């Protein structure tokens, strides 16, 4: 019966680990993964202990059990601090981890020293192993540390509940339950049922609660996706609700447009007690009743009734919020449409000025589009330790090559194509957003396994660009931008990636991008190498003509070389 109990708990812990792996996403903190990994290991220790026939086997199993017992409360504390948005200095985390290491080190001395157990005897009662122990001073310290971690965790939860409106109450409740259960189980241990230890059962309960937490975290981290991170400093406001119309959060732009959002608590429903709550409730109700009612106008009146100079008019759009392919809630977007509305008013009175206004608006939209592209590319580049300034330099390199090609234009490139490839160049490495930080930010060369992961950035880049430009009217730019991201690591001889294209199978825009990309990689300093001389870089580029690079681009590279060297010399000074 006892052995079946521990076997069942071990199997459950492994099943829950697999469930966690299946639902894992990049927003989950690494402490979650460590907690889910330690619990099955600890449960395995219990299984091994109750199958032990000798004192040696029992002591070894006990050491495995204490691996979880020594570290789980530490990692649970870290996960609570992260979810409560409480920052702790790295040195504090390190000191606490060292304390756990020292405690577990004393456990490992069992049988050799008396730090953790003074004496230890093994016997079997009714076929169940029993380890009779007298405790050493390190065991008392162990219980003190467990209590300290619990008090710190409980304090963080209570503090966040009363002081942090932007922390989900649902998550706080879910964090509190497993912590309470685990600490109670530590101190009552086997007192409830003879020969049955309830600690591993509390671990299983903690796993279940953390699965619920992981599910909820994916909702609150929607604003951490690529597009939402970008619009935090843009002109579009986002307000998110779950399917129960409970408030999930909003970006800084939305709070600036509607200051009342700062007073809404995360997970709160729209009670209608404030004007903005009633307005949001009205919009959501209209949308849920008829999905075609998804656009509204929100006006912030002028501060001076006699003028409309500072009046702001926003277009409000409502759509479903998706997690993968599933509907997870509602997304309300607010876009400043003041200029458009003013243009409509001007149309009745200033017909002769309309063309000027339209041109200005078009220029503004183009600037916004270009700024969006550059901001998104810069955001991705900021994650990469080794490529600072890379997007700007390669963009200049592409422009120089294009200008040389246009001098005779034997390649018959259109002006539109040339403008589009120059504009698309900053987007060529967008796919790195999907590369794990451990690989992307590694301060050195990649292992073969890491390089295989890095290679996926070209396919991911094309996918991200496709999604971003999905509804654009400029199909030509969309195609060129996707090709630049997808194929700029293909080689003329077919040995590149991701698709092994060769020769003119590779789009010309990707072939041009490849020259600028490799040239920058050679002459720029990286964390794992110094910058290469122009002469050496030229030798490598030249030797790659016909194997790595399109031989048709050779004369244009040669004519562009003095300008490239002048540009890179200028930015070094």
For the segment 146-199, what is each residue's pLDDT rounded down to a tens digit? 888 888 988 988 888 888 877 778 888 888 888 788 777 776 664 555 567 788
**Residue 401 and residue 553 in contact, taking contact as beta carbons nearer than 8 Å:** yes
- Torsion sign (Cα): 30, 35, 38, 44: negative
Could you tell me which residue, 323 or 209, shows the higher pLDDT? 209
Distances 125 to 122, 128, 129 between C-alpha atoms, Å: 10, 5, 6
**Distance spanning both ends of the chain, measured CA to CA:** 77
Mean predicted lDDT score pLDDT of the chain: 82
pLDDT digits (tens, 9 = 90+) for 460-504: 889 988 888 887 778 898 899 999 999 999 999 999 999 999 999
Q: Where in the chain is the domain with CATH 1.10.3210.10?
A: 369-572
pLDDT (0 to 100) of residue 455: 84
Separation CA 573–CA 571 (nearest Å):
5
| Secondary structure string (H, E, C) spanning 340-370 | HHHHHHHHHHCHHHHHHHHHHHHHHHHHHHH
Separation CA 381–CA 274 (nearest Å):
42
Could you tell me which residue, 107 or 385, shows the higher pLDDT? 107
Residue 456's contacts (CB-CB under 8 Å, 6 or more residues apart) are: 431, 434, 435, 498
Residues facing 397 on adjacent strands: none
Fold of 225-349: Beta-Lactamase (3.30.450)
pLDDT digits (tens, 9 = 90+) for 285-305: 888 888 888 888 888 877 666
pLDDT (0 to 100) of residue 226: 45
Separation CA 340–CA 333 (nearest Å):
17
Q: Is the pLDDT of residue 254 over 90?
A: no
Chosen CATH of 2-219 out of 1.10.155, 2.20.130, 1.20.1070, 3.30.70: 1.20.1070
CA 560 from centre of chain: 39
3-state secondary structure (DSSP) of residue 475: helix
Angle, CA 95 vertex, CA 90 and CA 101 arms, to 5°: 125
Considering the chain, what percentage of its residues have pLDDT values greater than 90? Answer: 20
Fold of 369-572: Hypothetical protein af1432 (1.10.3210)
Q: Is the pLDDT of residue 205 over 80?
A: yes
**Residue 431 and residue 452 in contact, taking contact as beta carbons nearer than 8 Å:** no
Separation CA 522–CA 541 (nearest Å):
9
Q: Is the pLDDT of residue 573 over 50?
A: no
Q: Phi then psi for 306, rounded to 5 degrees?
A: -80, -5
Peptide bond between residue 498 and the one before it cis (omega within 30 degrees of 0) = yes
Element (H, E) at 316: strand 312-323
Peptide bond between residue 306 and the one before it cis (omega within 30 degrees of 0) = no
Q: Where in the chain is the domain with CATH 3.30.450.20?
A: 225-349
Residues facing 237 on adjacent strands: 334
**Residue 312 and residue 297 in contact, taking contact as beta carbons nearer than 8 Å:** no
In this prediction, residues 12-36 reach a mean pLDDT of 83
């Amino acid at each position: 019966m006892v052995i079946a109990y521990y076997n069942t708990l071990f199997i459950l812990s492994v099943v829950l680990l697999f469930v966690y792996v299946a639902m894992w996403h990049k927003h989950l903190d690494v402490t979650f993964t460590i907690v889910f990994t330690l619990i099955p290991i600890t449960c395995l220790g219990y299984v091994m202990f109750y199958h032990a026939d000798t004192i040696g086997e029992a002591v070894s199993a006990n050491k495995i059990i204490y691996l979880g017992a020594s570290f789980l409360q530490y990692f649970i504390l870290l996960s609570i601090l992260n979810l409560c948005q409480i920052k702790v200095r790295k040195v504090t985390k390190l000191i606490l981890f060292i304390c756990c290491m020292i405690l577990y080190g004393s456990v490992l001395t069992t049988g050799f020293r008396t730090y953790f157990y003074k004496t230890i005897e093994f016997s079997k009662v009714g076929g169940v192993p029993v380890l009779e122990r007298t405790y050493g001073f390190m065991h008392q310290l162990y219980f003190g540390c467990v209590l300290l971690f619990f008090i710190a965790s409980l304090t963080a939860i209570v503090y966040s509940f009363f002081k942090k409106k932007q922390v989900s109450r649902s998550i706080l409740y879910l964090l509190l339950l497993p912590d309470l259960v685990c600490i109670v189980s530590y101190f009552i241990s086997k007192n409830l049922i003879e020969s049955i230890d309830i600690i591993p059962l509390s671990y299983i309960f903690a796993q279940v609660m953390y699965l619920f937490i992981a599910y909820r975290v994916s909702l609150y981290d929607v604003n951490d996706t690529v597009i939402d991170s970008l619009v935090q400093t843009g002109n579009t406001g986002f307000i998110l609700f779950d399917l129960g119309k409970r408030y999930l959060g909003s970006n800084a732009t939305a709070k600036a447009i509607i200051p009342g959002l700062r007073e809404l608590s995360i997970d709160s429903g729209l009670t209608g007690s404030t004007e903005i709550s009633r307005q949001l409730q009205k919009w959501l109700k209209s949308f849920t009743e008829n999905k075609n009612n998804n656009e509204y106008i929100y006006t912030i009146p002028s501060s001076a009734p006699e003028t409309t100079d500072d009046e702001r008019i926003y277009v409000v759009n409502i759509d479903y919020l998706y997690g993968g392919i599933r509907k997870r809630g509602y997304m309300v977007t607010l876009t400043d449409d003041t200029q458009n509305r003013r243009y409509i008013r001007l149309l009745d009175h200033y017909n002769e000025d309309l063309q000027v206004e339209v041109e200005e608006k078009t220029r503004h939209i183009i600037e916004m589009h270009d700024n969006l592209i550059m901001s998104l590319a810069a955001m991705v580049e900021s994650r990469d330790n080794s490529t600072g300034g890379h997007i700007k330099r390669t963009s200049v390199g592409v422009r120089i090559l294009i200008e040389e090609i246009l001098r005779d234009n034997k390649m018959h490139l259109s002006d539109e194509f040339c403008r589009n490839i120059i504009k698309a160049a900053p987007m060529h490495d967008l796919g790195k957003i999907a590369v794990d930080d451990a690989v992307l930010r590694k301060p050195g060369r990649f292992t073969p396994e890491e390089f295989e992961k890095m290679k996926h950035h070209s396919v991911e880049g094309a996918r991200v660009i496709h999604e971003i430009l999905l509804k654009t009217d400029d199909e030509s730019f969309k195609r060129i931008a996707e090709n630049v991201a997808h194929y700029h690591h293909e080689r003329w001889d077919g040995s590149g990636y991701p698709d092994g294209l060769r020769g003119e199978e590779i789009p010309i825009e990707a072939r041009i991008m490849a020259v600028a990309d490799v040239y920058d990689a050679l002459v720029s300093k990286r964390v794992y190498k110094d910058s290469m001389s122009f002469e050496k870089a030229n030798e490598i580029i030249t030797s790659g003509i016909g194997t790595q690079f399109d031989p048709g681009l050779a004369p244009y590279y040669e004519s562009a070389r003095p300008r490239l060297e002048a540009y890179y010399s200028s930015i070094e000074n």
